[in-house]
Amino acid sequence: MSKTLLDIQNLHAEIEDEGKAILKGLNLAVKAGEVHAIMGPNGAGKSTLASVVSGKDGYEVTDGSVSMDGADLLEMDADERAKEGLFLAFQYPVEIPGVSNINFLRTAINEIREYRGEETISAKDFMAMVREKSAVVEMDPKLASRSVNEGFSGGEKKKNEIFQMAMLNPKVAILDETDSGLDIDALRIVASGVNKLRSENNAIIIITHYQRLLDYIVPDYVHVLADGKIVKTGDKNLALELEEKGYDWITDEINA
């Protein structure tokens, strides 16, 4: 039996300063080789979950634990979590003017390698890797020399996220609404990129509002997140059911 890569137990979190509870006892265990989809209505706490797990400022964890491959994530700074192998594909990737994608990724890779006590990557190997990985998402390698996300179209930004995921080779990847703003061709390319990156050694969590991405990336489990908790878990058919019936029936079911 494969090991648990991400283990979230009884997670409670609120928005700092406001004291507004968003996550209210969330449990989730993701094993190596698995793909989990987390769906739910707007405001259920999906993006908060991604932010809290990745260590974004502005949230306070009031109870519970999050561990990755046995290590306590909540004790770590955001960059340490990334160095440990956590990757977040952002819903809205930020632009960083003047910083080339290449310089950015090389800094990241070398810091991660240094953290792991590995040799830094040579310029030659790095460039070879850029060429190889940009093919995964059919991204024009020229984009890699442009400033991070600056002037990128919505589709290019999302491809760039998956390209970075390919470059950094994480243990656990959380894709936050990666399908939003994508046309059907871009969606197919991004999904196929993610599928190529699936392996027995990593785990992928797809946060999405709609079912359509799951036609391309078939999940092992589908969870419904509502009011800060996972309220229902099923297989890919649950996603289809949600698509058909909406979320109300689940909330009704819980309230009943």
Partner 1 sequence: MAAYTEEELAKELQNQEYEFGFTTDIESEKIPVGLNEDVIRLISAKKEEPEWLLEYRLNAFRIWKEMEEPDWAHVNYEKPKFQEISYFAAPKKQYESWDDVDPEMKATMDKLGISLEEQKKLTGVAVDFVMDSVSVATSFKEKLAELDIIFCSFSEAVKDHPELVKKYLGTVVPSTDNFYAALNSAVFSDGSFCYIPKGVKCPMELSTYFRINEAGTGQFERTLLVADEGSYVSYLEGCTAPQRDENQLHAAVVELIALDDAEIKYSTVQNWYPGDKEGKGGVYNFVTKRGICHTNSKISWTQVETGSAVTWKYPSCILKGDHSIGEFYSVAVTNNFQQADTGTKMIHLGKNTKSTIISKGISAGQSHNSYRGLVQINAQAENARNFTQCDSLLMTDRCGAHTFPYIECKNNSAKLEHEATTSKIGEDQIFYCLQRGISEEQAIGLIVKGYCKDVLNKLPMEFAVEAQKLLTISLENSVG
Helix axes 154-168, 123-136, angle to 10 degrees: 130
Of 198, 206, 197, 170, nearest to 82 by C-alpha is: 170
3-state secondary structure of 99: strand
- The whole-angstrom separation of Cα 41 and Cα 241 is 14
Residue span 113-142 as binding mask against partner 1, x where in contact by CB under 8 A, dash where not: -xx----x--x-------------------
In the complex with partner 1, which residue's Cβ is closer, 176 or 230?
176
Question: Could you say which residues in the range 77-96 bind partner 1, by CB under 8 A?
Answer: 77-79, 81-83, 87-88, 90, 93-94, 96
- The CA angle 15-85-232, to the nearest 5 degrees, is 55
Helix and strand totals (H; E) in the chain: 9, 12
251 binds partner 1, rule: CB under 8 A = no
Question: Could you say which residues in the range 141-160 bind partner 1, by CB under 8 A?
Answer: 145, 147-148
In the complex with partner 1, which residue's Cβ is closer, 9 or 169?
169
Of the candidate residues 4, 67, 110, 169, the single one contacting partner 1 (CB under 8 A)? 110
- The whole-angstrom separation of Cα 39 and Cα 207 is 6
In the complex with partner 1, which residue's Cβ is closer, 172 or 214?
172
Of the candidate residues 9, 27, 65, 100, the single one contacting partner 1 (CB under 8 A)? 100
3-state secondary structure of 231: strand
Instruction: List residues binding partner 1 (CB under 8 A).
Output: 54-57, 77-79, 81-83, 87-88, 90, 93-94, 96-100, 102-112, 114-115, 120, 123, 145, 147-148, 164, 168
